[in-house]
Amino acid sequence: MRQALPGKVLKSAISIKSFMVFTLAAAIGMASVAPVSAAKATRDSRYAAIVVDANTGETLHSSSADSRRYPASLTKMMTLYLTFEALSKGRIQKDSKVVFSKNAAAEPPTKIGVKAGGSISVEAAILSLITRSANDASTALGEMIGGSEENFARMMTAKARSLGMKGTVFRNANGLPNTAQFTTARDMAKLGIALREHFPQYYSYFSTRSFAFGRQRIANHNRLLGRIKGVDGIKTGYTRASGFNLVSSVQDGNRRIVAVVLGGTSGASRDNKMAELIKTYMPQASKRGGGDLIAKTDTPMPAVAVAKAQLPKRNAPTPDMRPEAEEIVVADASADEAVESDEVVVAAAVPAPKPVIARTSEPKIAMASTERFGGKIPFQIRKAKDRAPAEGVEQAYAEERAPAVQALDQMKTASVPSGWAIQVASSPSDGEARAILDKTAKQAGAALAKASPFTVPFEKGGVTYFRARFAGFESKDSAWNACNALKKKKIACYAIAQ
C-alpha cells in the first residue's frame, strides 16, 4: 500500500500535467486562429452586391449596395463612357491617334506598354481597356479627352452626378489606388445600365473575347464570357484594398439584368458568386422591354436618343435622365464631401485645335473646351449662388449660352399644348423626332387618330434634345388607354401631363 501510493500520486501528476499541456495548446491554437478570423472578417466587410432588372429598374437583390467601396478597374467603365460619348458626338474617331505621354507610359501594370511619344488608335485603346484593363491606355485616353488626367477625373465625377451616381468620386482614369476615389455597388449598376442604353452602337466591345495587338493576342479578363449564358460584359477590377470586383450585364430573351459584386476574396469566388446571383435572379426579371421606364424607338439614331419616363416610386438605380420641368444638370458638391469646394466642374474655356495628334511625348488636344463643343460645354457649372466665378469661365459660358437658352424658352412657350400627352421618343434632332412621330402615327392606327403630333425641346448636358409627343387627350385615363394600345403594338411610350 505504501509503495502503491507514490504510483497513484505520480499518475495523477502526469494527468494534471497532460491536462495543462492540452489547455495551453488549445489556448495557443485559439490565439493563432483569432487573427485569421479577424482578417477574414475584414476581407468580408468589403463585400457588396446588387442585382437590377434593367427593363424596369427594380432592385432584385441588394447587400451593402450603398456602402462606399473602392472601384479599382471598374473606374474604366466611366472612362469608356466618356470615350463613347466623344465618339458619338464626332469629337474623336475610332482611328484617331491616342498619344501616350510620359505620365501615361509610366503607369504600372496591367498595361500594353506603349512608350512615351508612341500612339495607338482610339479603337485599340478601347479594346485594351476592356480586355487587358490597360492602365496606361486608360490614362492616355483621359488626357486626350480631358486635356489632363486631373481635369478628366473632374469630368468623370460630373458625368457620374448627371447619371444619378451620388456615391461616386473619381480621381483618375484607370482605378489605380487612391483613397479619395470611391463608389457603391448601386452606382456601378447605374453606370452599367447607362453604357448599354446610351451607347448600343459601341456596347458590343464589352463582349470581345480577345484582340490582336501587334504580335500578341490579348485575352479578356472577364471569365464569365462564354461560361454563363447571356453574359455580354462588362468589366472586372482588382486592387488589394478593393478585393475582386465585377459588373455583369446579362440578357436572356426579353429579360435583362445588371449585377454587381464588389470585394470578392478571390477571382474564382467572385465569379462563382456572380454566377449564383445570375442563376437566382434572372428568372425573376421582367420580360417587358422599356414600358413606363424607357421609351425606345426602332428608328436608327445618329446620336444617343434617351427618353425617360417618370421612374417608379422605388429605389431604381437607372440613369437619372427624367423629363422633369428643369433638366439641366448641375453638379452638386453637397452630395460628396470629397469634392473640394474650389473645384469647377466645367473645363477651362481655352481654344483647342481639331483632333489631329502629333507623335510627341505630350498630347496636344484639350477636348473639353468651349470651341471644341461649339460654345456648348457638356458639363454644367454649379449654381452661381454656391460657386464664385473662376477666372471668368462662368461669365463667358453664361454669355455664350444666353441666345440659345432664350430661343429654347421661346420654343417651349410657343409649341407646348396643354393637357395630357403621350411621349414615344427623344432625339437630338428635331427632324428625326418628327419622323418618329410620322412613323408612330402610321403604326398606331385608331389609337392616335385624334391626336396631334408635336416636339418639345429641352436641354441636357449642354445639348438640345427634342421629345416626340402626341397631344389632344382630355384626361389621364384617355392618355393611358392610348399608350396601352401603343404598347400592344410594341411601341414604347408613357403618358404625361403638360
Per-residue burial over 145-176, b = 16 or more CB atoms within 10 Å of its CB, e = otherwise: bbbbbebbbbbbbbbbbbbbbbbbbbbbbbbb
12 catalytically annotated: no
Q: Which of 62, 73, 119, 242 is catalytic?
A: 73
| Nearest residue to 265 via CA among 238, 240, 243 | 243
Q: Which of 62, 88, 128, 133 is catalytic?
A: 133
Q: Which of 62, 64, 76, 128 is catalytic?
A: 76
- Asked if residues 69 and 46 have their Cβ atoms less than 8 Å apart, the reply is yes
Query: Strands, E, within 227-359: which ranges?
Result: 231-239, 243-252, 255-264
SS3 106: coil
Residue with cell 486562429: 33
Do the bridges between strand 243-252 and strand 255-264 make them parallel or antiparallel, or are there none, so unpaired? antiparallel
Return d(Cα 378, Cα 81) in angstroms, integer: 14
- Asked if residues 144 and 357 have their Cβ atoms less than 8 Å apart, the reply is yes
- Asked if residues 192 and 318 have their Cβ atoms less than 8 Å apart, the reply is no
Return d(Cα 436, Cα 427) in angstroms, integer: 9
Q: Which amino acid is at 316?
A: A
Host H or E run for residue 422: strand 420-427
Do the bridges between strand 452-460 and strand 420-427 make them parallel or antiparallel, or are there none, so unpaired? unpaired
Return d(Cα 219, Cα 209) in angstroms, integer: 6
76 catalytically annotated: yes
Name the DSSP class of 16: H
Residue with cell 454566377: 275
- Asked if residues 450 and 495 have their Cβ atoms less than 8 Å apart, the reply is no
Task: Return phi, psi of residue 98, to 5°.
Answer: -100, 110
DSSP-assigned beta bridge partners for residue 99: 119
Angle between helix 75-88 and helix 185-198 axes, rounded to 10 deg: 20
| Nearest residue to 104 via CA among 154, 157, 173 | 173
Host H or E run for residue 40: helix 4-44
Return d(Cα 202, Cα 209) in angstroms, integer: 15
Hey, which residues are catalytic here? 73, 76, 133
